[in-house]
Amino acid sequence: MELNRRRFVFSVAASGAAVGQQGPPREEPVEKMTPGPKPAIALNHLGFLPDARKILVFRAPAGSQPSMFTARDIGSPPQPFSIASALKRVSGDFGDCLIGDFSNLKREAMYQISVDGERSVPFFIRSDVWRRTLPKAVSFHTAERCGIAVPNVHQACHLDDARRRDNGEYIDMTGGWHDAGDLRKWMTATMTNGFGLLYLARHLGKQWDQGGSGVKTLLEEARWGNRYFLKMQDTDGRVFADVAGGVNGDNSDNHWTDNVAGNNDDRYVNTAKNPAVQCMFTALQALAAQEYRSYDPSFGQQCLAAGVRCWKANPREGATCDLGWWLIAATELSRATKDPDYAAEAARLAQLLLARQQTAFAGNQRRIRGYFQVSATERLPFTDAVYSAIPAIALLMAASQLPAHPAAGGWRDAVRMYLDEYVTPLSERSAFRIIPFGVFHGSPTPESYRPLDGELTYRYFLPVRKQFWWLGTTSHLEIHAALLGMAARVFDQREYRDLGYRQMEWVMGANPFGACLMTGEGMRNVYPHSRFAGLINGGIVNGIAGNAKDEPILDTEYGYDWRTTEYWSPHNAWYLWATSQLERM
């Protein structure tokens, strides 16, 4: 992919962002900008539920010391309505800010906030501010379909997928979804679509769409993708890694083809069988078996059989993230079959995962604990741009599925520790309340790490000098929102739901750039890196990343920067999962 060379840097003194090419990362200059006073108001562009916590963040320009804000009904009410309330100064990362809390305002209408002469984007207070976005977010997956013509997006494509990398043999791998702003079909990334769609169907049912399309829309979309996933299962039960990922990790397969098999433009299927693919595939098929049980029993049984084959063909072990997915697979298989063997394996995996939680105060500090380590042998804190909350989600799922198990209380306690003694205290370090990307021991790469306590440091954004591949944290925030929504119900803790919505609000405009990261919603949308389709309504981009100083950066200058502005499947998938969990409360 091409890289842009211009970035907007949010900082009082703008500095450089690390932009890499193939080979060792290197520092690239970025456009030096000092942000002006606008937009100084940061809040969720969608609006707020009547009973939700409602927060605005105001970054006061130098010399400005406003003490009040005004919320005004701009929907031409019979009797004009407005409230005035105080602002509270909060010191933290990203600079000092003023916070306005108008949670007591529950009257449904369209509003606008005014502070010190600036107006916010108009926003709603209404009961469907989140659900009304779901059809757009779902439609993004339809626009990403491969192997069929998608009206107003592309003609029928890639009907010649694919030839094997290892021996050149042609096998039918048509279908599925394009992964991102490109044309490749990675299994790990696109399987997230299935989880998002099917958990949305499970949690909200026909109420997911106020237009009345029912769960049929979700199940048909998920089936489109899953037919491709089923094709990727080899005769030994294990599953291939990708189609069109290139020959040697390159970008050579990222192109349109002539749809005729047997010539030089045919793309490749990568026959490697990566561990992460196996556990996610098994979990997805177990989930699908349940959601199609009434809608299409035959397809549901096909999914269950494929999941069981993969389960039996693989050792259920590995790094912490993979172990979490295996636990989700065991939990879903137990739920799908009522077989006590799956329940017993779920309990075993949960205990293994529990042992990877850092319950002591490591690194000569006593501020945080409860995070997970990378693997059984590598005790560094686990971080991941896409699946960062999977270990905690898996434990909470197991505890919910096996509530009478003697160890279930310990699994629930582990999640409470993760949320209360890791997630929450880290989120309190900025006015935006977003969860940093992760904690580290010292400074493992030559760039800035924020001191936490003792030997521990943290960054809000991915390190940019560790490797070539880094990007915005949209999925990291969304999957934590899904966890927090789940935990709010299990533990009856409203504070978890509030914090979950704060993660989603950052994505929908309550960020330093005042930019909504979903195309077709909100204001100040960046132009997406979408090389083959252009704008896709409902698509969500990689989002705000950081530079070497851990300052927020976002390409607002049409630089076509894939790291911050590219569409990617997990962002839409986790948006569906998170919204479905938060809306269940």
In a domain, 83, yes or no: yes
In a domain, 64, yes or no: yes
Is the pTM above the cut of 0.75?
Answer: yes
pLDDT digits (tens, 9 = 90+) for 138-181: 999 999 999 999 999 999 999 999 999 999 999 999 999 999 99
In a domain, 168, yes or no: no
In a domain, 380, yes or no: yes
The length of the chain in residues reads 585
CA–CA dist 275, 306 (Å, integer):
16
Where among 125, 142, 170 does a domain terminate? 125
CA–CA dist 548, 541 (Å, integer):
21
In a domain, 145, yes or no: no
Whether 578 has a pLDDT exceeding 50, the answer reads yes
Check whether residue 199 and residue 117 sit in a common domain: no
Domain hosting residue 111, numbered range: 47-125
Secondary structure of 257-275 in HEC code, one letter for each residue: CCCCCCCCCCCEEECCCCH
Check whether residue 435 and residue 333 sit in a common domain: yes
Check whether residue 237 and residue 371 sit in a common domain: yes
- The enclosing domain of 52 has a CATH number of 2.60.40.10
Check whether residue 99 and residue 214 sit in a common domain: no
CB 500, CB 582: distance < 8 Å? yes
Average pLDDT over residues 440-469: 96
CB 15, CB 551: distance < 8 Å? yes
pLDDT, averaged across the chain:
92
Check residue 62 and give its pLDDT.
74
pLDDT digits (tens, 9 = 90+) for 216-234: 999 999 999 999 999 999 9
CB 318, CB 275: distance < 8 Å? yes
CA–CA dist 191, 147 (Å, integer):
17
In a domain, 100, yes or no: yes
- Show contacts of 162-165: CB within 8 Å, 24+ apart: 162/243, 162/244, 162/266, 162/267, 162/268, 162/269, 163/266, 163/267, 163/268, 163/269, 164/268, 164/269, 164/271, 165/247, 165/268, 165/269, 165/270, 165/271
Q: How many domains does the chain have?
A: 2
Question: What token pair was written down for 517?
Answer: 């990261």
Average pLDDT over residues 325-350: 98
- The enclosing domain of 428 has a CATH number of 1.50.10.10
Whether 265 has a pLDDT exceeding 50, the answer reads yes
Whether 8 has a pLDDT exceeding 70, the answer reads no
In a domain, 103, yes or no: yes
In a domain, 37, yes or no: no
Work out the pLDDT band at 308, boundaries 50, 70, 90: very high
Whether 2 has a pLDDT exceeding 50, the answer reads no
Where among 125, 150, 165 does a domain terminate? 125
Check residue 38 and give its pLDDT.
63
Where among 77, 93, 125 does a domain terminate? 125
